[in-house]
Amino acid sequence: MVAVLGFGQEGKAVTTYLLKHGIKPVLFDARPWDEWEEKDKQYIRDLGVNFIFHPDWLKEFKGFDVAFRSPGIRLVDINEATKKLRVKPTVTSQTKWFFEHCSCRIIGVTGTKGKGTTATLISEILKSKSQTQNSKFHTYLTGNIGNIQPFEILDDLKQDDWVVYELSSFQLQDLERSPHIGVVLMTTSEHLDYHSDTEEYLQAKMPIVKFQSSEDFAVINADYPGSMEIGQQGSGEKYYLSRKGEVEKGCYVKDGQLIVKNVANKNFQFPISNFKLRGEHNLENISAAVIAGALAEADKGTIIKVVSDFKGLEHRLEFVAEKNGIKFYNDSFSTTPETAIAAIRSFTEPLIVILGGSSKNADFSELAKEVATAENIKALILVGQEASKIKEAVGKVGKFKGHLLEGARSMEEIFKQIKKYARSGDVVLLSPACASFGMFKNYKDRGEQFKIFVGNFE
């Protein structure tokens, strides 16, 4: 018997794949049946499979040979439950199964932040390579980004195709195979509500390169100790990227140039002033994509053109509009202090920054130092569960001279505060450094609401 643990987007893709191959799984989910919308209930009924939906579903997890785990379900919880029940099913996942059965080359991208931007840019480079070099391969972008689930493409892949796979620690932690090209971006700490500590988080990411052979490649951000710790795993050939110093093999920034050195026999450079992506942190993402693209045999001209034209992703330091001389940027995808710091450093204009949201047990001390010492921040709008914690951290630094605005409980109230303080020449930046739950459904909802109110701003 086969179980599908968690019936969200990935669980649905796994179920469809199994049914396509003649396997009727049993579905499990912690959400009680009476809380599902009627359209979802009908969808599940139409599948013609059995299901167990309630908070104590783990107590009924017995009699199964194989279980497909959704990323949000922790391995430790499954292991504890199976131990109590004295059962030993084979626990896998869509990602693990995909890596074991994929017939083409995979470029895997992981890191605390920047995964989506980098994975998308790599896929754009490969797609352009296919067109300009008259190649016949297809490039697929999947994982945590894009509209394509891995199981939707697995059966159709050809040997010459490329898959660019965005990978979180949830997906990586039980892999036993690594991608042909493993990209390790900025890695600090994240998901400490899921992982017990930062070291467990780093360990979970190590399969990105851990199982590579000498015929594979690792692309490592040399500016972060966590990234270096992960990147030293495996036998893949190592390439490095840095904003802080030169590297012998890889890509680095110097004197306004992005310099590519000894990557697949390629040596070239081009000015960063050509880039449409804003923010120094995006130089890291671009560098990683350039190295990966070169290792995938894209030529210099293709790489330079795609990188120069790339505008970035929605909700990632996205320019929304200019109203009355005020520029609005949507960085709702920022859910850590590190990404908010990077966003703040992207601007020299007077800033009004929206910070706060639901808790991820983050440490705001470094963000507070950045806010207090950044002379261009004229106001902070603090919202959500973490507002008081951020305020306390800023207060401890004791140097912030701008306005601290509190109490907004909706995007409408946030914009009432913006209107009081924003003037022509200012930038309003939504870069919350926190999860969105409470005031918003998710980071997309938060960003979309922000953009709607920008559109109506007068």
What's the pLDDT at 429? 97
Residue 175 lies in a domain: yes
Q: Domain boundary at 92, 123, 143, which?
A: 92
Q: Does residue 21 sit within a domain?
A: yes
C-alpha dist (Å) from residue 425 to 19, 212, 340, 420, 452: 57, 50, 21, 15, 21
Burial of 17 (0-12, 13-18, 19+ CB in 10 A): buried
- Return the pLDDT at 133: 66
Domain shared by 289 and 335, yes or no? no
Statement to judge: residues 45 and 106 lie in one domain: no
Judge contact between 354 and 430, C-beta under 8 A: yes
Beta bridge partners of 250: 240, 261
Domain end, chosen from 92, 118, 151, is at 92
Give the pLDDT of residue 2: 96
Alpha-carbon gap, residue 273 to 283, rounded angstroms: 11
349 and 238 in one domain?
no
- Based on the fold, state whether residues 110 and 204 are members of the same structural domain: yes
Residue 123 lies in a domain: yes
What's the total number of domains in the chain?
Answer: 3
Q: In the sheet that 318-323 helps form, which strands lie side by side, from edge to edge?
A: 318-323, 326-330, 427-430, 351-356, 377-383, 403-405
pLDDT band for position 435 (50/70/90)?
very high
Statement to judge: residues 365 and 233 lie in one domain: no
**Helical axes 9-20 vs 94-101, angle rounded to 10°:** 50
Do residues 198 and 286 share a domain? yes
Task: Identify whether residues 301 and 325 lie together within a single domain.
Answer: no
Distance CA 380, CA 246 (A): 36
> Residue 67 is part of a domain; what is its CATH number?
3.40.50.720
| Mean pLDDT of the 115-140 span | 89
* CATH code for position 374: 3.90.190.20
Last residue of a domain, which of 282, 309, 336? 309
Is the domain of 350 the same as that of 266? Answer: no
Mean pLDDT computed over 204-225: 96
Q: Are residues 251 and 285 in the same domain?
A: yes
Q: Can you give the residue range of the structural domain that contains 33?
A: 2-92
pLDDT reading at 430 higher than 90: yes
d(CA 141, CA 120): 7
Q: Model confidence over 303-320: pLDDT tens digits?
A: 999 999 898 888 988 889
d(CA 234, CA 212): 5
Residues 6+ apart with CB under 8 A from 77: 58
3-state secondary structure of 69: strand
Q: What are the tens digits of pLDDT across the range 342-372?
A: 899 999 899 999 999 998 889 999 999 999 9
| pLDDT for position 193 | 54
Same domain for 294 and 323, yes or no, is no
- 362 belongs to a structural domain: yes
Identify whether 433 is part of a domain: yes
Does the structure show a pLDDT above 60 at 191? Answer: no
Side chain identity at 100, as an amino acid letter? Answer: E
The token pair at 208 is 């990105």
Q: Which residues pair with 162 in a beta bridge?
A: 105, 139
Structural domain contains residue 97: no
d(CA 231, CA 237): 10
- Which distant-in-sequence residues (6+ apart) come within 8 Å of 179 by Cβ? 99, 105, 106, 107, 108, 165, 208, 212, 216
3-class secondary-structure state, position 136: coil
Is 177 inside any structural domain?
A: yes
**382-427 per-position pLDDT tens digit:** 999 999 999 999 999 988 989 999 999 999 999 999 999 999 999 9
Same domain, 189 and 335: no
CATH code at 215? 3.40.1190.10
Percent of the residues in the chain that have a pLDDT greater than 90, as a whole number:
77
Secondary structure letter of residue 440 according to DSSP: B
Confidence at residue 197, expressed as pLDDT on a 0 to 100 scale: 66
In this structure, is residue 187 part of a structural domain?
Answer: yes
What's the pLDDT tens digit per position in 261-313? 999 999 999 999 888 888 888 999 999 999 999 999 999 999 999 999 898 88
Same-domain status, 150 and 116: yes
CA separation for the pair 398, 230 (Å, rounded): 37
pLDDT at 274: 85
